[in-house]
Amino acid sequence: MGKKTGLFNKILAGLLSLAIILGLASPVLANDKGDRFSYEVDMVIVVDISGSMSGTKMTKAKKSAKDMAEAIWKEQEAHNINTNIALISFASDVIHHKNDGTDFFQKKDKSKLFNVVDGLVAKDMTFTQGGIHEARMIFKKSTGDKKIIVLLSDGEANRIYEPKIDLDDYMNNNKKVLEGSFYYDKAGQDTTVAKGKFCALAEANLAKSDNIDVLDIYTVAVDCNEQAKEFLKDVASDKDKFKDSDTDDLEDVFQDLTDEIKDKIEKEKLEKELEDLNNRIDELDKEKAELEKEFEKEKEQAAKDKEELNKEINDLKDKTDELERAKDRLEQELADDREKSEEDKKALEKEIDDLKQKTDDLNEAKENLEKELEDTIDKMEEDKKELEKDIAELDKNLEDLRKEKDLVEEELNNKIKELEDRLEQEKAEYEKDKEELDNKISDLNDKLDQLDKEKVEIEEQLEKEIEESKSERDELRESIDSLDKKIEEMNKEKAELEKE
């Protein structure tokens, strides 16, 4: 009886698990955090304030930094996103501008961050590697779900950490720079632009290795030449993470990033719910397997009990047969000894009556055992039917859950496809707008070239006309001189005539 009670308790536990899965109980999701944000973004803005950034470049860099902060902080609460922003500037040295001793500024600290940005002054050399390395060190302590480095620069780099490796060998043979290849505890040193760019790119690659899957590196070109733009494209984590402050709307870029993070949160939530559903289905499968295993044990035990009862019945049958044989033998002896004394006859009759009574008792015991066996078998059959009914119901519920899982997976796949289609569409529109802009710039350049040619032609024509005018003036002057001479000669003739 104790074994049957344990089995029914397990069935009850399985039904309770099923009720939780079907929604009768409401489990708390991992991302139900009350007032806390569900997605943490840590962003480091790294600003080049070297001497080459002075003037309009510095003005553009400051505006770009503030535009980015505005864009990524805009309406972040509506999407359960909390963005922390750190500020690093670099010239000959690297400065991490802290927020009252903490690494990051939050949205409520926007005015303090913007005051620091406005106070940046361009001077000295360009330590790009140092700026990226400082961002790496901040991210070593970061637990953010998303990490972003934004480098604003004109692309020139001429200062590095002292290397432990042969830079010329690594540059000439395109070798991969590994962690520990520089003396980070020493001050930076001046170098060539080529080596400065190589070390900055190596530092960016180390940052990407540190934070695989969660790090994006954006680079923003500030009045760069084409060679510097190519360097900044290499530093960026993808080509589409490179932006030009003259042609790209940085506010739109980081609004798109906010939308991307929001879509990722929705996707992760669906994936988490699907994972929870799969885990519950696995648990229910295990409980079902345990119930079936327990049922098989009960079945085996019942078979053993039945076998023991049959053995007892057979033993009783053997004893009954033996008593029947003893009775027959005694009756035979009684018949043979009819002539014995009446007293012996009575004794024998009493002994026969006793044997009959024992036989009746054994037959009654046999009937009771057979009835008990039949009742036990009937009870086991009823229990078996109930268990089979419960297992069938569990199978049906499992099938319903699998269908629900398939629907959730289909919904998730549709959502992912919808997001991918939307990203592709936005990318295509961006490429189209960029192509139109490039065509307009090309047409404008062609018109400028045509105007330059026309200007040269007009200048040549003007020079030619000036030369021709000069020649005509000389001819007129000669004619006037000739006339003057003739007049002079005529005056002389007149004087002579008057004299005569």
How many other C-beta atoms can be found within 10 angstroms of the C-beta atom of residue 396?
Answer: 10
Label the pairing between strands 159-160 and 189-190.
antiparallel
Question: What pLDDT is stored for residue 484 in this prediction?
Answer: 80
Residue-wise pLDDT tens digits, 431-468: 887 788 778 777 777 777 787 788 778 878 878 877 77
- pLDDT range class, residue 192, cuts 50, 70, 90: very high
Residue type, 309: L
Rounded Cα–Cα distance for residues 439 and 231 (Å): 24
Are the beta carbons of 133 and 44 closer than 8 angstroms? no
Indicate whether 106 pLDDT > 90. yes
Question: What pLDDT is stored for residue 472 in this prediction?
Answer: 77
Average pLDDT over residues 266-295: 81
Are the beta carbons of 193 and 153 closer than 8 angstroms? no
Three-class SS string for 237-266?
A: CCHHHEEECCCCCHHHHHHHHHHHHHHHHH
Place of tokens 């003037």: 55
Strands (E), 49-145: 81-90, 94-97
pTM > 0.75 = no
Residue-wise pLDDT tens digits, 86-99: 999 999 999 999 99
Residue-wise pLDDT tens digits, 34-60: 444 568 899 999 999 999 999 999 998
DSSP-derived secondary structure letter, 99 = B
DSSP-derived secondary structure letter, 117 = H
57-62, long-range: CB < 8 A, 24+ apart: 57/122, 57/154, 57/222, 57/223, 58/120, 58/121, 58/122, 60/222, 60/223, 60/245, 61/120, 61/152, 61/220, 61/222, 61/245, 62/117, 62/118, 62/120
Q: Taking the CA atoms of the chain, what radius of gyration do you get in angstroms?
A: 51
Q: What is the mean pLDDT of the chain?
A: 82
Tokens of 432: 């189209």
